[in-house]
Structure 1
Amino acid sequence: MEPIALGKALASFTDQWSPRIVTAVNDYDVRVAKVEGEHVWHVHDHTDEFFLVLDGELHIALREAAGERTVVLPKGSVFTVPRGTEHKPYAPVPTAILLFEPTGTLTVGDHHDAVPDHVDATTGHALG
């Protein structure tokens, strides 16, 4: 067990929307990802999804009972998408994020739209 520098972890890959697992906390993965452009509308039926913006800006469109809205997360912001909420992340500029998700959680959720080529449908990749 050694400390992990997030900047170094992010510098170790170039793929967009393809998270790397930097560590685990109990039964959760701590993942970092580089993102730009649109992800895909998706929903996680059984888990919340935590986002921390390390650099850049992340928008998350949400489809809720009251209607559709978008939250904007500048650098240093956190937001949790509640389980069962359909959402679609979008980054207007190159952005780095950190996510907490139960180990084995698919990046495109339990239900999703067609996955475009630039989005990696994965449970996370090992760092390095």
Structure 2
Amino acid sequence: MKSPYSAKIVQPDISLSICGYSKVLEIVSNKWTALVVYAMEDGVIRYGEIRRRIEGISKKMLTQTLRQLERNGLVKRVITPSVPPIVEYSLTRLGESLLGPMRVLNQWTKENYSLVEQARASYDQAYYEE
């Protein structure tokens, strides 16, 4: 049986420009994105409420994250004219469809992250401690 590794690769078969995984990572790879999406999973929420729910997020980072999510069609922003204006955010259908895969990743993390930490500790001990 011929090993799949013995074939000479002439051209790359994995591409950042066409790979579905890299495209989705472009959307959700910011560490704040998942947290902001989770903050909105129960429905309409105001900016201040999102900020209070997410420990450590700055106003600037929250604003940037919300704008990017809105640009990508995952979040809807509604401004109600008043003094001061009321700004509410909610997930679009597209944003809601992202919750399922994110929950799967969250479950994987709960089940496996301790193994990742053990692997890191073993690696660090083997390669960094003398």
Is the helix fraction higher in 1 or 2? 2
Is the strand fraction higher in 1 or 2? 1
Higher relative contact order (CA 8 A, sep 6+): 1
TM-score range, shorter chain: under 0.3
Normalised by the size of structure 2, how large is the TM-score?
0.27
